[in-house]
Amino acid sequence: MMTSTVTLERKGDHIILLTLNRQEAANAFSLQLMDDVIQATKEINKMDDIRCVVITGAGDKAFCAGADLKERSTMNERQVVDAVHKIGQTVNAVEQIRVPVVAAINGVAFGGGMELALACDIRYSSDMAKMGLTEVSLGIIPGAGGTQRLPRLVGVGKAKELIYSAKRIDAHEAYHIGIVERVIPQQLLMNEVLTLASQIASNAPISLIQAKKAIQKGQEVGLTTGLSLEWMCYEATIPTEDRLEGLRAFKEKRKPVYQGK
C-alpha cells in the first residue's frame, strides 16, 4: 500500500514497515494522514503472514511532530474537537494492531507524535530524537492517550512532571526514565529495529498475538483478573500445530518452522 501520506513496505517474509510520509510537515497528523494510518492498520490486521510491524517517519528529522497546527489554525472549535478525537482514534488503531509494533523514533516526537509512540509495544530511539507531551504550553492537554499511557509507563510522578512542564527531553533522558527501550545512533536505528523485528517474527505468530493480548488487557485490570486473562490466552496456544512444532524442533535441536496454525 502507498498513499500520499503513508507507505507500507514488506521487510522480509513476516515484517511490515509503516512510514508516515509527510516529511515536508515533520510527519504531522493531517486529517488525510490519520485516515491513511487507520486504513493501513486495517490492512495489516488482515495480513495473516505479518508477525511484526515497524512504524517510523520519513526522513531523519521527525518521527511525528503531532497535530498539524497549520491545518488546525483553519478549523472552528467543532472541527478542532473532531480532529483531536481522530488523533485518539488513530493512536488507538495502532495500539490495537494484533501483532507486536515497534516504533523507530527517528526524530522529534511531540504531542500526538509521542502519543503515537506510547501506543507502540516497544520503542527504539535515534540518539538525535527529542520527545515530549508539550500540549499544556499550547493551552490544551494531551488528548490522544498521553495522560493515561505515560503514567502507566513511567509512573505518575514522572508523568506529571513531564506533562505539567511541557518539557522536551532528549533520547537519553527518555531511556533513563523508561520511555524508550534503547537509544541507537541515527544511522544504525533502522538496522537495529529490523533486527529486533526479525527476532520477534521468528517466533510463533499465534503466541505473539496471545502474549500481546495478555499484556495489553492485563494492564487494565487487577492482578487476579489479569492472571485469568493470561491463562485464557495461554489456552488458545495449546491446540495449535505451532506448539507441537516448537516441541519437535526443541527435541530435534533445530529451528522451528511456524505456520501460524
pLDDT for position 1 = 59
pLDDT for position 2 = 61
Active site residue 135: yes
pLDDT for position 67 = 85
Catalytic residue among 57, 88, 115, 146: 115
Active site residue 67: yes
SS3 132: strand
| pLDDT, averaged in runs of 10, over the chain (261 residues) | 84 94 94 95 94 96 90 86 91 97 97 97 97 94 95 96 97 97 97 97 94 94 95 94 87 84 85
Q: To which residue does cell 496471545 refer?
A: 210
pLDDT for position 77 = 86
* HSE-CB of 116 using CA atoms within 13 angstroms: 34
Phi, psi of 40 (to 5 degrees): -65, -40
Catalytic residue among 135, 143, 159, 204: 135
Catalytic residue among 26, 67, 83, 144: 67
The domains of the chain, with CATH numbers, are 6-201 (3.90.226.10), 205-252 (1.10.12.10)
Q: Where are the alpha helices (DSSP H) in the chain?
A: 31-45, 69-72, 77-95, 112-118, 146-154, 156-165, 171-177, 189-201, 205-218, 223-235, 241-252
d(CA 261, CA 243) in angstroms, rounded, equals 9
Phi, psi of 9 (to 5 degrees): -135, 130
Catalytic residue among 107, 111, 112, 146: 112
